[in-house]
Amino acid sequence: MEDVIILGTGCAGLTAAIYTGRAQLNPLVLEGSQPGGQLTTTSEVENFPGFPEGIDGYAMMDNLRKQAARFGARFEHAKVDKILVDGATKQLHAGGAVYEAKTVIIATGARPRLLGIPGEKEMFGGKGVTTCATCDGAFYRDMEVVVVGGGDSACEEALFLTRFCSKVTLIHRRDTLRASQIMADRAVSHEKIEMAWNALPEEILADDRGFTRAIRVTDRESGDTREIACKGAFIAIGHIPNTDFSDGLLSRDTDGYIVPTAGSQVKTSIEGLFAAGDCVDHVYRQAITAAGMGCQAAIEAERWLAER
């Protein structure tokens, strides 16, 4: 039986691994389908303290992983689909494998939300619809693309895409961006970025080979529809927490975020089961806050074990 199993290798999971590793708890870290979490798909991280020039997201996660391994964290690939609790023992089911632990830190993060409009699923991944400019932006060199969304992610994606693309249309359903002022200003004032305000995406349209050729939007004020030509449609409209496996075990809010017990950010309703990062935090959702929650969860797990 493990003392600590950590689910997830984003900022929260790896920080929990560093802390529990340093506490000599020999943590086992289970990594799912996106090792390193969301930051591995970010170009530059400019706001994590300690990096005055910024740092590449992938490099940062690689550093965290090495730091955790240095303190004895072990890593395995496993996607947990169910957790059963038997007294103080937590049983984690991952496909055919079963892991047992005294404490578990859930740091499974979140995945990109999709629009759910016609054409999106059909052209997703390889035919022009994507959620990751860092991964796919270079394929759209000298082409016109759109980014859908009005938050920091959408602005960041749009700005990143200006490195390659001839024109980026930022499609937002309202007339003011949700993004932080600095990101919004950069996006709106960029010469390659055109804003499509009050525009509601209706359908992604294919050419005769089945590749993206345009997106149809409705103007929310006039009701008019129009097509915006694009070879790529980058969807950046927020995230859905990866908590489905905890259905029936932990309380979750209507958006699926794990609800911590009153008075704590990381304790759940089950003793010895903690949650940290974007699977529980729907307010701040920053790399630094996820790392902070990973630290809190690790300290709580350590205390919980010490008390017993």
Residues labelled as active-site residues: 132, 135-136
State which of residues 13, 37, 149, 241 lies at the interface with ligand NAP (CB under 6 A).
149
**Closest listed residue to residue 144, CA positions, set 82, 94, 90, 214:** 214
Where does this chain touch ligand NAP (CB under 6 A) — which range of 49-57, 124-132, 153-161, 162-170? Answer: 153-161
Phi, psi of 6 (to 5 degrees): -110, 130
Please work out the total of residues on this chain that contact ligand NAP, with binding judged by CB under 6 A: 18
Mask 235-254, x = binds ligand NAP (CB under 6 A)? Answer: -xxxx---------------
- 184 counts as binding ligand NAP under rule CB under 6 A: no
Residues 227 and 144: their CA atoms lie apart, in Å, by 13
The nearer residue to ligand NAP, 201 or 272, going by C-beta atoms, is: 201
Tokens at 94, concatenated: 């991952």
**Shortest approach of ligand NAP to residue 248 CB, angstroms?**
27
- 157 counts as binding ligand NAP under rule CB under 6 A: no
Tokens at 62, concatenated: 């690689």
Three-state secondary structure call for residue 147? strand
The interface with ligand NAP within residues 109-138 (CB under 6 A) comprises 115
Q: Which residue is nearest to ligand NAP (CB)?
A: 151
CA distances from residue 47 to 44, 67, 187, 232, 263 in whole angstroms, order as listed? 9, 20, 17, 28, 28
- 256 counts as binding ligand NAP under rule CB under 6 A: no
E-strand ranges in the chain read 2-7, 28-31, 44-45, 55-56, 74-77, 82-86, 89-94, 97-106, 110-112, 129-130, 144-148, 167-171, 193-196, 199-206, 212-219, 225-229, 232-235, 239-241, 273-275
Residues 182 and 172: their CA atoms lie apart, in Å, by 17
The nearer residue to ligand NAP, 148 or 276, going by C-beta atoms, is: 148
The interface with ligand NAP within residues 271-300 (CB under 6 A) comprises 285
The nearer residue to ligand NAP, 281 or 300, going by C-beta atoms, is: 281
- 308 counts as binding ligand NAP under rule CB under 6 A: no
Q: What angle do CA 237, 242, 248 make, to 5 degrees?
A: 130
The nearer residue to ligand NAP, 60 or 101, going by C-beta atoms, is: 60
The nearer residue to ligand NAP, 231 or 285, going by C-beta atoms, is: 285
**Shortest approach of ligand NAP to residue 234 CB, angstroms?**
12
**Contact set with ligand NAP (CB under 6 A):** 47, 115, 148-154, 156, 173-174, 178, 236-239, 285
